[in-house]
């Protein structure tokens, strides 16, 4: 959908101002169902779009995302707009500069329309609802962002993911969401600050309606900014250039302690078939060590209460987890797994167990994308595609195949 609107603007069929106005209206309609908006400034967005229209008249669509509207999670700074993290004591915080990713999208011609609510329920934001069923959870912590995109109110969202905070809400709300390889996209301007030493799991990434749209945006976000010390100068490959022929694809091994729901399990099988039908080679299932990933993560979450020796052991266990899973995947290019145990549950507090399938890629730093499947008008189902480090292009290319209508049709049969 993003590509379609980008191209319509580039052809002059729709002005930037018309596109921003249309998507601002759609977002307000989705907000009425979901409470996804933390703050929006339509006049400011329309003024920015009007400037781009003036540029278009003089020079044409010289920018890669000329006039494309986007939204930003309320943990990521936008110049002049509130960035509160959903906390009352930060209600007056207005950063004076953009996060690197926001600045890069603006420089590419995109226009900020709104900030979105964080968490399923926060002090300032209140309760966010799932766009497909208001009685169900949208997932956290990129709750408003996933609800906005999955509900059809935003073409593109910028969010963050530590243990699954992009992928899980994307799965429950029906969007494509990528946690990039650790060290690919700058986290400069994330609030609260995150970095590779303070929290090496946390990454900023895009949410859109499809993996193809995410693939268009990722190269614009990636690369060192001279501020974030954890970045590596690695180029992003083009997902369109990835050939599935010969890719070695594994399914996540069933785990008796963490059985996926029947719908999700069937979706993973359908995804594997869709990829192998296009020339990929099926290899042995991979044990993602879900219980160990949850244990290491729970100790990480409680590290302020650990002794020095316990912190040291947690880091050693984390390092060994990364090493052992990397060794186990030596002959694997892609792992296809559930994103979550099941479809969106009725509203309830989030639990660590909700993220059990997203934790392994967070601990290893590998790229992982939720590919949304919609079928029979039911709730969205998320399938997770995990690739080797720096092969975000492979993850997105496979996800684009997984989310095709033919894959959902296969699931319905």
- What are the residue numbers of the active site? 73, 141, 165
Instruction: Provide the token pair at 405.
Output: 């209508």
Angle of helix 143-150 versus helix 16-34 axis, rounded to 10: 110
Kindly tell me the burial class for residue 130, based on how many C-beta atoms sit within 10 Å of its own C-beta (0-12, 13-18, 19 or more). buried
Q: How far apart are CA 280 and CA 10, in angstroms?
A: 35
Enumerate residues 6+ apart whose C-beta is below 8 A from 312: none
Q: How far apart are CA 161 and CA 227, in angstroms?
A: 20
Enter the DSSP assignment of 114.
E
Cβ atoms within 10 Å, residue 306: 14
Question: Residue 248 — φ and ψ, nearest 5°?
Answer: -95, 115
Kindly tell me the burial class for residue 303, based on how many C-beta atoms sit within 10 Å of its own C-beta (0-12, 13-18, 19 or more). exposed
Measured in residues, the chain has a length of 413
Return the bridge partners of 203, or none: 161
Cα angle 393-271-405, degrees, rounded to a multiple of 5: 90
β-strands 176-179, 156-161 pairing = unpaired
Enter the DSSP assignment of 283.
-
3-state secondary structure 330-365: CCCCEEEEECCCCCCCECCCCCHHHHCCCHHHHHHC
β-strands 111-116, 69-73 pairing = parallel
Cβ atoms within 10 Å, residue 25: 12
């Amino acid at each position: 959908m993003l590509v379609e609107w980008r191209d319509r603007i580039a052809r002059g069929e729709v002005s930037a101002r018309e596109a921003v106005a249309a998507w601002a209206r759609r977002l307000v309609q989705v907000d009425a169902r979901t409470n996804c908006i933390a703050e929006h400034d339509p006049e400011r967005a329309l003024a920015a779009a009007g400037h781009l229209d003036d540029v278009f008249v003089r020079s044409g669509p010289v920018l890669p995302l000329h006039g494309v509207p986007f939204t930003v999670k309320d943990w990521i700074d936008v110049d002049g707009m509130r960035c509160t993290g959903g906390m009352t004591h930060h209600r007056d915080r207005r950063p004076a500069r953009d996060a690197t990713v926001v600045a890069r999208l603006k420089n590419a011609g995109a226009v900020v329309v709104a900030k979105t609510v964080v968490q399923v329920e926060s002090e300032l934001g209140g309760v966010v609802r799932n766009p497909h069923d208001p009685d169900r959870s949208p997932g956290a912590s990129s709750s408003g962002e996933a609800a906005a995109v999955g509900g059809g109110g935003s073409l593109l969202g910028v969010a963050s993911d530590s243990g699954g905070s992009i992928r899980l809400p994307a799965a429950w709300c029906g969007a494509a969401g990528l946690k990039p390889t650790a060290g690919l996209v700058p986290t400069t301007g994330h609030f609260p600050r995150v970095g590779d030493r303070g929290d090496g799991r946390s990454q900023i990434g895009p949410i859109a309606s499809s993996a193809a749209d995410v693939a268009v945006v990722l190269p614009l976000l990636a690369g060192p900014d001279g501020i974030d010390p954890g970045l590596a100068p690695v180029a992003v490959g083009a997902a369109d250039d990835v050939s599935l022929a010969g890719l070695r694809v594994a399914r996540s091994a069933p785990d008796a302690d963490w059985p996926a729901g029947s719908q999700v399990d069937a979706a993973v099988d359908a995804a594997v078939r869709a990829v192998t039908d296009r020339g990929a080679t099926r290899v042995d299932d991979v044990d993602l060590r879900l219980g160990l990933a949850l244990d290491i993560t729970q100790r990480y979450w409680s590290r302020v209460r650990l002794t020095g020796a316990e912190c040291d052991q947690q880091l050693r266990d984390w390092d060994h987890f990364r090493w052992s899973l990397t060794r186990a995947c030596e002959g694997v290019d892609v792992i296809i797994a559930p994103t979550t145990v099941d479809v969106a549950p009725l509203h309830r507090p989030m639990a660590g167990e909700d993220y059990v399938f997203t934790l392994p890629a967070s601990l290893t730093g590998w790229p992982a994308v939720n590919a949304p499947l919609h079928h029979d008008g039911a709730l969205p189902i998320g399938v997770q595609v995990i690739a080797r480090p720096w092969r975000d292009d492979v993850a997105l290319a496979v996800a684009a195949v997984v989310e095709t209508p033919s894959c959902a049709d296969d699931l319905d049969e």
